[in-house]
């Protein structure tokens, strides 16, 4: 009885150097995102001291202070960067796009929970009573209505265009970006449509709930998508035997294996996974244990959860910038993958 020779693994793919313009663009986008987070951090520290070393219960509550412009601008810019950057796999790309989609909602709809630190009335006087604080929160509703209506109209138009483009690509043009990996196109788009319809429904039919809860749920969704991105990038970096001449048997395998990292590394994979674990475990621990540690920490647990997640997001962005410093945009179609390989 003969033995079966093991199939040789495919030679490591050493991609050609990316165009310098692509390298510079991607590097600046990534570092710019970290710079935006740094600007927000400095603005928060300045406002903390200006308010007499008084800390809000959440970063989001600084919407009602002089930090408002930086807070809204930072989240909007981060959302744009997440959408613009291409992910190497459907999971990474889809989660980045979805995180970018909800980030402006976090910015445009402030939390309804705030204290009086740094708040001022319409006359510029410091807020000293609960009635004055309630008036400041209520005054923000006009801005929420205007900003969210504009955002929902534009996002709705974009989603319709993407649905039409996808249908045209399948029926007539055979656009490879859509037809090569249909699940990677339609999956995130379907999730985006569901989130959009939920947002429209609550904004239109239950404005009171929207004012009070849209921020919280959007922020949670944003951080979940970011953690998915970090986990998936770890999966991309994990070494595996590759056979470029063999198609994966199941569509789910094709979905997961699209555009895996050409330079795998167990060290990088574990770094990304450890980062995801630290982000999740730390946020949950702060949420559950802050009140038990101290009353003051419990009153500000949302602030520290948000700061924890945003801080580690900056760390992740710096790590990924270094990891992908020699790469430009990832290939988007099978033909482009083959061209790069040859």
Q: Quick: pLDDT tens for 140-161.
A: 899 999 999 999 999 999 999 9
pLDDT digits (tens, 9 = 90+) for 180-206: 777 778 888 999 999 999 999 999 999
Beta bridge partners, 330, equal none
In a domain, 308, yes or no: yes
Among 68, 102, 93, 78, which Cα is nearest to 30's? 78
Question: Per-residue pLDDT for 250 more than 70?
Answer: no
Side-chain-facing half-sphere of 49: CA atoms under 13 Å: 5
262 falls within a domain: yes
Mean pLDDT rounded to a whole number for the chain:
82
Q: Both tokens of residue 211?
A: 């004012």
Tens of pLDDT, residues 110-120: 888 887 787 87
> Do 151 and 80 contact (CB within 8 A), yes or no?
no
- Residue 249's pLDDT band, with cuts at 50, 70 and 90, is very low
Tens of pLDDT, residue by residue over 18-46, are 667 767 778 888 888 899 999 999 999 99
Q: Which domain holds residue 284?
A: 20-135+214-326
Is residue 20 exposed (0-12), middle (13-18) or buried (19+ Cβ within 10 Å)?
exposed
**Residue 242 belongs to some domain of the structure:** yes
Between the CA atoms of 336, 339, 341 and 342, what dihedral angle is there, to the nearest 10 degrees? 180
Closest CA to 272 of 312, 308, 213: 312
Note whether residue 309 is domain-resident.
yes
**Is residue 39 in some structural domain?**
yes
Kindly report the pTM of this predicted structure.
0.83
Q: What pLDDT score does 262 carry?
A: 63
Q: How many helices (H) and strands (E) does the chain have?
A: 13, 0
The 3-state DSSP class for residue 66 equals coil
- What band does 9 get if pLDDT is binned at 50, 70 and 90? very low
User: Would 245 be classed as within a structural domain?
Assistant: yes
Q: Tell me the CA distances in angstroms from 90 to 16, 117, 198, 239, 250, one per residue in order.
A: 23, 43, 23, 19, 16
Residue 327 clears pLDDT 80, i.e. is over it:
no
Token pair recorded at residue 67: 């930090």
What does the pLDDT read at residue 8? 46
| CA-based max dimension of the chain | 93
Number of domains in the chain: 1
Structure tokens at 28: 């600046």
Q: Report the alpha-carbon angle 146-151-156, nearest 5.
A: 130
Mean pLDDT of 73-79: 94
State both tokens at 244.
């470029």
Residue at 43 is within a domain? yes
Q: Which residues pair with 310 in a beta bridge?
A: none
- Within-domain flag for 49: yes
What's the pLDDT score for residue 30? Answer: 85
């Amino acid at each position: 009885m003969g033995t079966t020779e093991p199939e040789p693994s495919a030679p490591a793919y050493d991609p050609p150097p990316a165009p310098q313009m692509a390298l510079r663009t991607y590097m600046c986008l990534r570092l710019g995102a970290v710079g935006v987070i740094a600007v927000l951090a400095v603005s928060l520290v300045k406002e903390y001291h200006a308010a007499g070393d008084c800390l809000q219960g959440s970063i989001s509550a600084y919407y009602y202070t002089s930090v408002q412009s930086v807070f809204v601008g930072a989240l909007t810019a981060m959302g744009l960067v997440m959408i613009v950057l291409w992910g190497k796999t459907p999971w990474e790309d889809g989660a980045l796009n979805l995180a970018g989609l909800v980030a402006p909602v976090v910015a445009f709809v402030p939390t309804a929970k705030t204290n009086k630190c740094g708040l001022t009335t319409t006359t510029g006087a410091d807020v000293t009573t609960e009635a004055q604080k309630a008036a400041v929160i209520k005054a923000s509703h006009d801005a929420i209505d205007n900003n969210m209506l504009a955002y929902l109209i534009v996002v709705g138009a974009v989603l319709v265009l993407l649905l039409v483009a996808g249908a045209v690509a399948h029926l007539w043009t055979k656009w490879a970006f859509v037809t090569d990996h249909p699940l990677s196109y339609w999956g995130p788009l379907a999730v985006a449509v569901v989130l959009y319809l939920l947002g429209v429904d609550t904004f239109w039919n239950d404005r009171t709930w929207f004012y009070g809860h849209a921020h919280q749920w959007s922020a949670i969704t944003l951080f979940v998508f970011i953690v998915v991105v970090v986990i998936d990038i770890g999966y991309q970096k994990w070494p595996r035997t590759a056979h470029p001449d063999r198609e994966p048997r199941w569509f789910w395998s094709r979905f997961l294996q699209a555009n895996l990292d050409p330079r795998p590394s167990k060290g990088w994979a574990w770094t990304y996974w450890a980062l995801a674990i630290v982000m999740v475990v730390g946020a949950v621990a702060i949420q559950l244990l802050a009140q038990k540690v101290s009353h003051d920490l419990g009153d500000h647990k949302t602030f520290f959860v948000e700061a924890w997640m945003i801080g580690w997001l900056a760390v992740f962005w710096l790590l990924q910038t270094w990891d992908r410093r020699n790469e430009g945009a990832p290939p988007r179609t099978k033909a482009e993958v083959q061209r790069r390989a040859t």
